[in-house]
Amino acid sequence: MIDPPSLPDPDRTVLLVEDVASVREGLCALLSRSYSVRFAASAEEAEAMLERGPRPRVLLTDYQLPGRDGVALLRRVQERWPEVVGVMLTGNAELDVALRAVHEGGAFRFLCKPCRHEALRRALDEAMTASETALERERVAGELRFSRASLVRFNRELEERVITQTDRLRRLHAFAVDLNRARGLREPATLAAEVVHEVLDGRGVHVQVWDRDDASVEASLGPEMSARMHRAALETCDGPVGELVVDELGPDGEALSRTDVEFVASVASSAAVAVHNELRRAERDEAQYATIVALARLSEQRDNETGKHLERVSEYCRVIAEGLRDEPEYAAQVDDTFVGDLVRSAPLHDIGKVGIPDSILMKPGALNDSEWEVMKTHSAIGAQTLDSVIRSGRNQGFLEMARDIAAHHHEKWDGSGYPSGLAGERIPLSARILSVADVYDALTTVRPYKAAWSHREALAYVQEHAGTQFDPALVRSLLRRGQAVDEIRARLADSLDEPAEDARRALPRTA
């Protein structure tokens, strides 16, 4: 049996179910002028065609069919293929048939034979529209289901990431405190092996430290390592003083993740400073500060920040704070202890970015609204992370300042910032200082989406936003000590930070 000619548009397909050949052929000839028509002689044949596909938009069926009747067919179609709209065209005009067609079969229209062509076309066109509406509704519902599932999955992954990173930060801080109490070379080596072995699920770890006589002190934990080993040098300004080796494969065969590698690098960096201090009998404060920088690198290395961003921002904060001593209202608050704590706290301002997904944190272009809302949560994540370390009982004075900075360095003087909308002196002074330093550094360094602004252009921007974005007193301090700031910028410049001479370029995405 050959189907009659049909229109090329598959979106206007009608499946005609009629067992009387003469009626079927007549309807096919009539409908083929406006629709792509396929036909079947029974409910079973129609259902087989629907099963194979492609499916029509409208099913036009008689009531009296061999085997199952038209109502049973409509009911079956509504259950399995709800996007196919059913219309009944029958010579049986009894009321109970019409009621069954509508209520049991879900018929969109019930028409009686003989039916005028205009009425039939109108019913089919309306059914086509209803099918399109059903398809669109299902598409939107599917997108909503997908979005909800993605959001649930994203929230779960974010929560797991924050918990994991918080635990690691807490353990790293405890490690730093233990390093400060360590004596000799064996204790730093042992502590480094213990923290890596514990955090990285029992992997094999070997730490070797070299003393001044080219002898070595070693510490090992865990099972025998595989042939695949990750090595992190205990690097210092005077060269390497040892090596931390960890098995790339865990007990279950899982490979080291990027975050794991960064964690190992942080431990190696901290242990290297402790060993170097022991070897040179230097002040142990260097070990603590290097650990803080290493912690901050967990977030900075995943962001689009430049290589010496943390060092520059810390130095800018020092210059601005020291300049505040010329402001009577700040002279008493900004003493040596405040400045020292500020310099140690500044590197932790964006520590909360460890909880931001790579797809958002590393996006080279502008963020959309939903991505921006996720990005803004880094302030709260950072504050919560540092607060959990403080509550662990291993508190250092500067960590409380670091928590305030992490939470509020995106607040603005006029109250339009986030996350709390604080204004004026309600914003902690340390966070206000960091805000000025961070924006100046972002303006004067290269980003994937902008060239570096000149020192002069950056100062003009900061001055323009005094009283709105920035504390006017801090802006005055920056301007008074502009030469010192410019010298820091030049001394700690990244290799790609070449100021251009053109007009203002795109503002950096500071978050």
For residue 15, the domain's CATH number is 3.40.50.2300
Roughly how many angstroms between the first and final C-alpha of the chain, as a whole number? Answer: 68
CB atoms within 10 A of CB 494: 15
Amino acid 469: pLDDT: 97
Amino acid 436: pLDDT: 97
Kind and range of the H or E element at 205? strand 205-210
Q: Which residues have CB under 8 Å from 17's CB, separation 6+?
A: 39, 40, 41, 42, 43, 45, 46, 59, 60, 61, 62, 65, 70, 73
Strands 36-40 and 239-247: unpaired
Q: Computed over its alpha carbons, how large is the radius of gyration of the chain?
A: 36
Task: Say whether both 290 and 307 belong to one domain.
Answer: no
> 């990750």: which residue's tokens?
230
Whole-number Å distance between alpha carbons of 126 and 272: 77
Task: Say whether both 388 and 467 belong to one domain.
Answer: yes
- The answer, as to whether pTM is greater than 0.75, is no
Amino acid 438: pLDDT: 95
Task: Say whether both 195 and 69 belong to one domain.
Answer: no
Amino acid 5: pLDDT: 45
Task: Say whether both 409 and 358 belong to one domain.
Answer: yes
Task: Say whether both 382 and 496 belong to one domain.
Answer: yes
Q: Is residue 345 part of a domain?
A: yes
Task: Say whether both 432 and 283 belong to one domain.
Answer: no
CATH code for position 235: 3.30.450.40
Phi and psi of 350, rounded to 5°?
Answer: -110, 25
Q: What is the span of the domain harbouring residue 397?
A: 303-511
Amino acid 100: pLDDT: 85
Task: Say whether both 360 and 408 belong to one domain.
Answer: yes
Task: Say whether both 262 and 348 belong to one domain.
Answer: no
Q: Contact at 8 Å (CB) between 130 and 109?
A: no
Task: Say whether both 284 and 328 belong to one domain.
Answer: no
Q: Is residue 4 part of a domain?
A: no
Q: What is the pLDDT of residues 374-405, one digit of tens each?
A: 888 889 888 888 888 777 654 466 788 999 99
Amino acid 282: pLDDT: 39
Q: Is residue 191 part of a domain?
A: yes
The domain boundary, picked from 123, 139, 155, lies at 139
Q: Is residue 420 part of a domain?
A: yes
Single-letter code of the amino acid located at 306? T
Q: Is residue 232 part of a domain?
A: yes
Residues of the chain with pLDDT under 50: 1-8, 282-287, 304, 394-395, 497-504
Q: Is residue 1 part of a domain?
A: no
Task: Say whether both 292 and 314 belong to one domain.
Answer: no
CATH code for position 425: 1.10.3210.10
The pair of three-digit structure tokens given for residue 398, joined into one six-digit string: 């500067």
Amino acid 511: pLDDT: 60
CB atoms within 10 A of CB 55: 18
Q: Is residue 149 part of a domain?
A: no
Q: What is the pLDDT of residues 281-320, one digit of tens each?
A: 534 444 455 665 666 666 565 554 555 888 899 999 999 9
What are the CA-CA distances from residue 467 to residues 76, 269, 473, 508 (Å)? 70, 41, 9, 20
Task: Say whether both 226 and 294 belong to one domain.
Answer: yes
Task: Say whether both 126 and 204 belong to one domain.
Answer: no
- Which of 108, 112, 117, 123 has the alpha carbon at shortest distance from 33? 117
- The SS3 call for residue 22 is helix
Q: Is residue 175 part of a domain?
A: no
- Which of 100, 101, 103 has the alpha carbon at shortest distance from 88? 101
Amino acid 299: pLDDT: 59
For the chain, the domain total comes to 3
- The SS3 call for residue 457 is helix
